[in-house]
Chain A
Amino acid sequence: MAVNCYFTFPTVYFALRAEAVLKDSGCSFKMVPVPRAISSSCGTALRCPCEEIDAIKEVLENNKVQWDNVHLLQEEEPRPRSRGLLARKEARA
């Protein structure tokens, strides 16, 4: 189990603006669909390790990116996805 942090945004515009301004910031984050446990007006959220929260908030604030909430979620470590079918196809090709 790991704790992940999710930023939610009022609109897609701000979610994508967050992605754009954070791209070269050195912060580690990923844009993901909003997990079911969270409610958000916009369907895309920003996931990051909890220790990045403050740095990310600072970048967002400096760039006037509005966000709605910061949620903490206990999650299972993502398992590696099976590539079974695809791997077989590639082997044949």
Chain B
Amino acid sequence: MTTKAPNLYFDNAATTWPKPESVCRAVEANLRQSFGNPGRSGLSRSLESDRVVYQTRQKVADFFHIEDPSRLVFAFNATDALNMAIKGLLNRGDHVIFTAMEHNSVLRPLGSLRRDGFITTTAVPCDKEGRPDLDYLEKAFTPRTKLVICSHASNVTGTILPVDTICLLAHQKGAFLLVDAAQSAGVLPIDLSLLEADLLAFTGHKGLLGPPGTGGLYVREGIDLKPWREGGTGSFSEEDLQPQVMPEKMEAGTLNTTGLAGLQAGIEFIQETGIDEIRRHELKMRRLLKSKLLALPGLTVYGPADDAQCVGVLSFTVEGVDCGELGRLLEDPYGIITRTGLHCAPLAHKAIGTFPQGTVRLSPGYFTREEDVERVALALEEILRVKV
């Protein structure tokens, strides 16, 4: 940011850091806000909290071009939203298709439903660049296929998946599409008036630059989910069943209002900066990183050759060197923060041929600068001089 100190945090795919100052201020202001001002509306603290939720819902809906904000349900992260969608939509006997690039937050809910004999599933293989085999996908549909799940961008290779094409295919076959936008929201434009996804899950603490504990699920009009969390909604309190009105239906329990105030500020930062500018910068950092890494001996970089088909995520391995050890050496003594191993996406690593050892993942963000990338390259060069 404005500081001259190096920003060697290269784990923005896990959670973005630093956050914009405006996000920190919004979180603090929300916690400190006084609700007892004389002369105010005389309404309770709870209505002021409700207003924050309302405004953030409107902000997120505008950001994703969702016409009716009541179709946007807040969740505590992408995992929560994906569970809401998967467990809320599927019925006994349904068949689900998903890609090999999916995260454990998709694989595990599906896995337990499958183990319990509730659903059947088909995984669509992906190539070494992380692209799903669309012919395979097309043939995988059965008359029972209810849902297709596809991440918008991979958290292992950065590959942008063809969600538009997959959406068309799913709809032709009468199935719904659930998009996992955990890695794309805030860095790739998402327009839900154009992309006809039926469900889209996102998290607030990655590209949207908000605090952890925020996220949400878009549910297209006409889709009825069973709430997997039930309880207080502040409405219909006399009834012993969850109210059926969206979005309250899916939002039982006290929401993370403070987090949502921060998320609102995060989205405002993106709108002011311009998502295209953020994308341009992250691509530039990825390109630079890749060109530096490719100049080093014994190093393999994964993902599409064409950077324009990626988000700012870059995985690599070094022949004969354990990636966990590489990650540790980068952190100490160099202070470079990466993420090593399987990144909660075992099938993606199988697809690119790095299972079970995994990769070292570097994910620059909007606040990464060229000199930070230079430092990573120099550190790696030094490490490899000793190791290889």
B245 interface hit (Cβ, 8 Å): yes
The answer to whether B234 touches A42 (Cβ under 8 A) is yes
Query: Quick one: given A31-B47, A41-B235, A42-B235, are A11 and B243 in contact (CB under 8 Å)?
Result: yes
B222 at the interface (CB under 8 A from A): no
Alpha-carbon distance between A20 and B234 when the two chains are bound, in angstroms: 19
CB–CB A11/B43 < 8 A = no
Contacting pair B248 A13 (CB below 8 A): yes
Q: Does A30 have its Cβ within 8 Å of any Cβ on chain B?
A: yes
A residues within 8 A CB of B247?
A: 13
Given the known interface contacts A31-B47, A64-B68, the answer about A10 and B245 at a Cβ–Cβ threshold of 8 Å is yes
Across the interface, B235 reaches (CB within 8 A) one of A11, A31, A86, namely A11
Give the dominant DSSP class at B's interface.
loop
**Other-chain residue from A20, A42, A44, A86 in contact with B58 (beta carbon distance below 8 A):** A20
B51 at the interface (CB under 8 A from A): yes
A86–B57 CA distance with the chains assembled, in angstroms: 37
Q: A10-B245, A11-B243, A43-B234 are contacts. A86–B43 as well, Cβ < 8 Å?
A: no
- Tier of interface size on chain A: 20 to 34
Known contacts A20-B58, A83-B38; A11/B248 CB under 8 A:
yes
Q: Tell me the count of chain B residues lying within 8 A, CB to CB, of chain A.
A: 24
The reply to whether the CB of A38 lies closer than 8 angstroms to some CB of chain B is: no
Main secondary structure of the interface of A (DSSP, over half): mixed
Contact bitstring A30-54, B, C-beta under 8 A = 1, else 0: 1111000000011110000000000
Scan B232-247; emit 1 where CB is below 8 A from any A CB, else 0: 0111110000010101
Q: Which residue of chain A lies nearest to B234 when distances are taken between CB atoms in the complex?
A: A12
Asked, given contacts A20-B58, A31-B41, whether A13 binds B234 with beta carbons under 8 Å apart, the answer is no
**Residue pair B245, A11 in contact (C-beta under 8 Å):** yes
Distance of A17 Cα from B248 Cα, bound (Å): 14
User: Any chain B CB within 8 A of the CB of A60?
Assistant: no
B370 to chain A, nearest CB (A): 43
Q: A17-B54, A20-B58 are in contact. Are A32 and B43 (CB under 8 A)?
A: yes
In the bound complex, residues from chain A placing their C-beta under 8 Å from that of B34 are none
B49: nearest chain-A partner, CB-CB = A12
| Per-residue B-contact encoding for A67-91, CB less than 8 Å = 1, 0 else | 0000000000000000100100000
A16 at the interface (CB under 8 A from B): yes
Query: Contacting B233 at CB < 8 Å: which of A11, A64, A83, A86?
Result: A11
Question: A11-B235, A31-B41 are known contacts. Are A44 and B54 too (CB-CB below 8 A)?
Answer: no
Given A17-B54, A42-B234: A12 and B43 interface contact (C-beta under 8 Å): no
Interfacial residues of chain B within 8-60, with CB under 8 A of chain A in the complex: 38, 41-44, 46-47, 50-51, 54, 57-58
Which of A10, A16, A64 is the one whose CB lies under 8 Å from B50?
A: A16
Choose among A16, A32, A42, A43 the residue that contacts B51 (Cβ–Cβ < 8 A): A16
* Chain B minimum-CB-distance residue to A65: B70
- Residues on B with C-beta less than 8 A from A64 are 68
A-B contacts besides A12-B235, A44-B50, 13 pairs, CB < 8 Å: A11-B235, A11-B243, A16-B50, A17-B70, A20-B58, A30-B41, A32-B42, A33-B43, A33-B44, A41-B236, A41-B237, A43-B235, A86-B38
Binding site for B on A (CB under 8 A): 10-17, 20, 30-33, 41-44, 64, 83, 86
7 residue pairs bridging A and B, Cβ less than 8 Å apart? A11-B245, A12-B50, A13-B247, A17-B69, A17-B70, A33-B44, A43-B235
Residues of B in contact with A (beta carbons under 8 Å apart): 38, 41-44, 46-47, 50-51, 54, 57-58, 68-70, 233-237, 243, 245, 247-248
A-B complex: 10 closest residue pairs judged by Cβ atoms: A16-B54, A41-B236, A42-B235, A41-B235, A11-B248, A11-B235, A12-B50, A11-B245, A10-B245, A12-B234
